[in-house]
Structure 1
Amino acid sequence: MNEIDLLRHVPIRLTKEERIIHRSVVNALEISEYVDNVDIQCRNKQATIEREVAEFLDSTLSMLLATPFFRQRVRKLLKRTGDDGKDTAYTGAIREYATQGFEICRRYKRLNSTFMRSSYGKLMWILMDMKIMSDNYLTPIWTIDDALAEAGTKELLHDTLFRRATDPSIPAVERSQLVAELQQTYGNTVGGKLDLILSSVIDSREAIHAKCRPIERVLLWLEEFRHHHSGRDLSISRGHGGCCFSHSHEQQYTFVRNSLILWITIQKHMNVFWASIEDDLLNSALTYQFVNTGQGYQRLQPCPSTMRVAQMCLAETKKSVNGWIGSDVIHLGDRDVPNPLVFIDKYTQVPLILGELVSIVDDMERQCALYESVARIIEQKHGSVQDARREILRDFFRFGFNGSGDDGGSCIDGRLTSVWNWCSRIQKKSFYPIFLLCGFTGFDGHC
């Protein structure tokens, strides 16, 4: 998928009014016990769903009515409507505003993937069940493609000035000049939306860059281990240290490199993935089963759209690397990855995990320079800061990709599961005190 196709999936940034609506709906989601009451084994599940959906809608509308501009909207609508049509008009308005609120939350999640960790999943389950009940509160996510189509200026995406102006790396002064040129060319057709479109694309490109940066740093560090030298051997043996397969140094280097490049490709296509998971989750033709997957009871359903995007990313990665090591099986819609929400949640955590690793490795030298006692502790136990750094990275490249995930850990999902397992065992590592000295609290992105 080329850059222009990726830009078409970029969501539009929330306006000030939309942020208030978003906060109201999120508040309703946070107090809702929908998942606790619905995703359990019960006799009359349909009645339970209907009751919980009605309760959630009541909470949402109460939150929305608490906002001044929402009340003003309703009053204006009722003034324009005769007495005979007030009930119908009010009901229609409520449905319209609730639908708008749900779209705003879905759009916000795409823009900020690390936020709404639990409330987004709850919203998707509610919308999924409402769709099955033929109670439709869905509207397409407002994207760059929609905004440009509305203005009749889709050619803007092909303009080199536009792509240059939305490059996060250019200086602010140069960007201002480019934006002024774009305003002269497209200002009459796009109008006031041009700034919103530009800021949305810049936000998206900066977010993707931020997500890819820690993976690219780790990939760069991997190059230090490319050649087999003393202290840089990446070979692993089945049965040693939890390893589920045996790899020579060259095989393990290629295996880790393949995995990191695949994760970068997935991060670059994240907006496409968000669109595909909603296509699957909110498709009334794709029903789910509530089953015990071995990781508790979860919703299991087919994921054709998400699978297509995942296969596209895998094919793109395999084309760009020199040789593929391990399985290329993608688990989706099975007991390992039961639904697309589980899939997307796994890969939104990759930048958090690797970002924390990068932060620790980068911070070691700063801590040693600031505190002589820290330098002394590291030197006594590991020889030097560089030796400690090499030990951490070597351990990660070996035992973070040791096959401890599913399918011997070499499948697409198993590679990430192996990294999770390494994170869960971090307290047992000899270098764990270094992590604590550098302010480590966890791999989930929270302090």
Structure 2
Amino acid sequence: MHGQHVEQLNSILDEAEQQPAAGEQQPGPGDQQRLYEEHAGRLRAEADAEANARRLLVAQEQWTEYLAQKEQDTGALLGRAQQLQGLMQQMAAAAGGDAAAAAAVAEMGRLVEELGVAAAEARASAAQLKAETERGKRSSSQANLAADGDVEMKRQREDGGSEDGAAGEDGQQAAGGAGAAGDLAPEQQQPGFIGPQIPAAAAAALAANGTAAAAADPDSFRERAKYIPLRLNMEERRLLRLLEAALSVSEYTDKVDVLSWRNKSGRVHAQIRDMCAILCGLVVAQDFRRGQQLIVERDFAQLCQFFQDCFEVGRRHKIMNPEKMRDTYGKLIYLLMDACDPEIQELLEFKCVRPLRTVYALLEERGALPLLDDPLMEVATAEIVSADRPRFEVQRAIKAKERARDTLARRYRNRALSDEDILHCLYSISDNNSYLLFNRDPVDRMIAYLHRYFVPHSAEQGYSLAIQGGSQGARLTHSHERQYHYVLQSLTLWREISHEMFKLWYLTDADMLREGNSYRLQNTGQGLNRVQSAPLVGRAMQQILARCQRRLGGWVGSSVVHLGDHNVPSALFFIDKYTQVPRILNPVVLVLDELPKLCKDAQIAAYVQSAFGGVEAARKEILLDFFRHAFDGSGADNFFDAGSCIDGRLTSAWNWCSKIEKKRYYSLFKLAGFNGFDGDFK
């Protein structure tokens, strides 16, 4: 019965493109082409207007921040000039009416007056532009609210015409960043929410939107466990290999995400056909006889649990290993995004997405949450580093870790939770600690190098971090002190993002697969991409940014976060950008650490001494170039796509990486075993 239902609906979709509605005249080929071009042109114009409005708003925000910074700088100069004026007046009084001193005092008075006028103008300009930006935001918000009432009318119009790459399937707009979809916690509690379920405590913390977090300590095991996936067991690894093999030969996105569809029904039909092919392939590879039966009957609902397990294993594996599935995860997440569409679900008669299995969810289900508050958790999950430690200390730490695990397993086991389940949870948390060691710690090392070789208030001769816009590709103009703080803030932000990477991946999965969070195909200037809002990731990012600003006592440059726009189309692009941070910093840190070891060879030491002046001088040259030109606002076609915004800092770093072969010190990278920044795609 299910198979007949699917076949009937598929035949209806085929006929929808060929037969006109009753009472309508069949349009000729010329009329169809004209209507198609008119509709496509209208949709492109709407998408371009929306994209330009978003770019203008971002530019206004960045210019507002720039004027505010100039206002502060001008005020500081005015204060110093007034102090200097007071000193000159005292000197003139002590000189007893000397004419030259009086003239200097008068000139200084005019300078102070001019600076006062300039400060007032800067203050007025900043206030005016800030007010205009706020009015623009309110106007955009009202326009979006008004457009929501026309969704049904717009959907009817799109169903009858072309589905262009600039238009969304249901006519909804994908707002960017933290400003979109303000109330999500109630939606997640509704039956229609099929994405990963966000715990209530996490949803409450995210609702703070950049303010102080909830009472729970974000670094506690209880809070971290909410976003730490369970390690895959042997059966799940078999499913993972099966899923990766199916995705590696799939051409789903190549067939679905194209601009050639003339109407929505044609694209939906292609989605269903390719999705069914992938599902059937999975079953055939797992059980040939069962797969044969599925191909004949097409009753997918009976295998609902199997499909959900396969897809959930792939999503969980990617969160635990962001460097894996780089060439297949995009197909998986786009497939599941389409599977969340109500029309697709109705045809398939089941949901492909279920919540991710996490450590917190398992312990909560089995009644063992107090395990996460036990003091032995620190010892039982600690990462043991053997570098520069005697062997007996390493062995002692390993035995202490094993005893702590056994003690926790005996203490918290019950009828529903075995010793193996507890150890499974502890191993999963240990995996998270291992990830932090290799991905967060390189950022800490780079911050330590910045503090070691540079000081903010004075620059060593020949080692100034100052950059000038227009010189050597830089788009920013910073003094040594300002660039020092700019680099420190950027590294601190990357460090906090790496620290919470599992949480951000979890929220990315929730944003991408939330039912009702539609997307639109749009040419963003970097190819055809799915543009979709990411409210959960946006809020979490605003919290991280606010925490960094409070810790550092201020912010240099723009604090604009691109998300859901032409720069960063979706949460997937956002999270993928920041998985590159360890790929950029790890090779640099490795070279800096390996230089002293390499110079134990007499010939290499002689080369380093003659070419760079020694190990310390070579280190300083590498760091100077990195801190200047990996944070200079370069790497894009214009200032607003790179510059000093949050994502532009990473764009500048990638631009520096692309030019590493031209650096004078590139030979040192090769001696240290450098192969590239991009890593392996398998």
Q: What TM-score, normalized to structure 1? A: 0.91
Q: Does structure 2 retain, via aligned residues, the 8 Å contact 1:244–1:404?
A: yes
In structure 2, the partner of 1:20 is 238
2:275 corresponds to 1:53: yes
1-side partners of 2:401 and 2:528: how far apart? 51
Out of 282, 296, 299, which is 2:527 matched to? 296
- 1:125 and 2:346 matched: no
How big is the shift at 1:88?
Answer: 9.3
Q: Deviations over 1:326-381 (max 9, x none)?
A: 111100000010011111111111011100111122222322323x4333333332
SS of the residue 1:58 aligns to: helix
Q: Could you tell me how far apart the structure 2 residues matched to 1:256 and 1:62 are? A: 53
The verdict on how the C-alpha distance between 1:245 and 1:91 changes in structure 2, with shifts beyond 3 A counting, is: closer
Does 2:426 match 1:204? no
Displacement after TM superposition at 1:173 (Å)? 0.7
Matched, 1:438 2:672: yes
Structure 2 equivalent of residue 137 of structure 1: 352
Kept in 2, the 8 Å contact 1:401–1:418? The answer is yes
Of residues 392, 405, 421 in structure 2, which corresponds to 1:193? 421
Alignment match, 2:55 = none
Residue 98, structure 1, aligned to residue 307, structure 2: yes
What is the deviation of 1:195?
Answer: 0.7
Q: Which residue of the partner structure matches residue 162 of structure 1?
A: 377
Out of 321-330 and 43-52, give the one that drifted further.
Answer: 43-52
* Residue of structure 1 equivalent to 2:576: 345
Aligned to 1:298, the other structure's residue is in SS state: strand
Q: How does 1:381-420 map to 2 (within 5 A)?
A: 381-405=611-635, 407=640, 408-420=642-654
CA deviation vs aligned residue, 1:51-79 (integer Å, no higher than 9, x gap): 2212211222223227xxxx8xx79xx9x
Letter in 1 for 2:322: S
The verdict on how the C-alpha distance between 1:446 and 1:369 changes in structure 2, with shifts beyond 3 A counting, is farther
2:450 paired with 1:222: yes
Deviations 1:180-219 (A, max 9, x none): 2212311225213111011111111121222111111111
The one of 395, 417, 425 aligned to 2:659: 425
Contact 1:109/1:115 (8 A) holds in 2: yes
Q: For structure 1, which segment, 35-44 or 89-98, has the greater mean C-alpha deviation from structure 2 after superposition?
A: 89-98
The answer to whether the 8 Å contact 1:34/1:122 transfers is yes
Matches within 5 A, 1:312-351: 312-351=543-582
Instruction: State the 1:308 CA deviation.
Output: 0.9
Counterparts of 2:377 and 2:606, CA distance in 1:
52
Taking the aligned partners of 1:62 and 1:379, their CA distance within structure 2 comes to: 64
Counterpart CA distance in 2 for 1:161 and 1:374 is 47
Rounded Cα–Cα distance in structure 2 between residues aligned with 1:313 and 1:285: 27
1:428 is matched by which residue type in structure 2? K
State the one-letter code of the partner of 1:297: L
Alpha-carbon contact 1:378-1:384 (below 8 Å) kept: yes
Structure 2 contact 379–400 (Cα < 8 Å) conserved? no
State the partner residue of 1:173: 399
The question of whether the paired residues in 2 share the 8 Å contact of 1:27 and 1:63 is answered with no
State whether residues 12 and 200 of structure 1, in contact with CA within 8 Å, keep that contact through their aligned partners in structure 2: yes
Separation in 2, partners of 1:255, 1:202: 33
Q: Is 1:251 the equivalent of 2:482?
A: yes
Query: Does the aligned pair in 1 maintain the 2:371–2:408 contact within 8 Å?
Result: no
Tell me, yes or no, if the aligned pair for 1:300 and 1:333 is still in contact at 8 Å: yes
The answer to whether the 8 Å contact 1:365/1:385 transfers is yes
Counterpart check, 1:37 vs 2:255: yes
Q: Which residue of 2 aligns with 1:10?
A: 228
> Structure 1 stretch 43-52 or stretch 271-280: which is displaced more?
43-52
Q: What's 2:53 paired with?
A: none
What residue in structure 2 maps to residue 150 of structure 1? 365
Amino acid at match of 1:375: A
Among the aligned pairs, what percent are the same residue?
37
Alignment-mate amino acid for residue 287 of structure 2: L
Cα gap change, 1:91 to 1:286, in 2 (>3 Å): closer
Tell me the TM-score normalized by structure 2: 0.61
Q: Which amino acid aligns with 2:276?
A: A
Q: Which amino acid aligns with 2:619?
A: R
**Secondary structure in 1 matching 2:357:** coil
- Cα distance, 1:89 vs. partner? 12
1:183 aligns with 2:392: no
Query: Is 1:62 the equivalent of 2:284?
Result: yes
Instruction: Tell me if 1:115 matches 2:324.
Output: yes
**In the aligned structure 2, how far is the partner of 1:347 from the partner of 1:39?**
25
Conservation of the 8 A alpha-carbon contact between 1:262 and 1:317? yes
Change in Cα spacing, 1:317 to 1:233, as seen in structure 2 (3 Å) is same
More relative contact order, 1 or 2 (CA 8 Å, 6+ apart): 2
What is the match of residue 73 of structure 2?
A: none
Deviation by residue 1:242-277 (Cα, 9 ceiling, x = unmatched): 111111111111111111111111111112111211
Residue identity in the other structure for 1:391: E
CA distance in 2, matches of 1:436, 1:175: 38
CA–CA distance in 1 between the matches of 2:373 and 2:591? 41
Contact kept? 1:353, 1:445, Cα under 8 Å: no
**Long gaps (5+) in structure 1:** 79-86
Q: Measure, in 1, the Cα distance between the counterparts of 2:302 and 2:554.
A: 57
* Aligned residue pair count: 430
> What secondary structure is seen at the aligned counterpart in 2 of 1:188?
coil
Q: Secondary structure at the match of 1:369?
A: coil
Per the TM alignment, residue 24 of structure 1 is displaced from its structure 2 partner at its CA by 0.6
Letter in 2 for 1:383: G
**Residue 91 of structure 1, CA deviation:** 4.3
Q: Determine the C-alpha separation between the residues in 2 that align with 1:89 and 1:446.
A: 38
- Structure 2 unpaired stretches of 5+: 1-217, 385-393
* Cα distance in structure 2, aligned partners of 1:403 and 1:100: 44
Q: Say whether the 8 Å CA contact 1:25–1:64 is kept in structure 2.
A: no
Query: Which letter maps to 1:11?
Result: P
How much is the aligned-residue C-alpha RMSD, in angstroms? 2.2
> 2:225–2:359: 8 Å Cα contact kept in structure 1?
yes
Per-residue CA distance 1:284-336 (angstroms, 9 max, x = gap): 31111111111111111111111011111111111211321111110000001
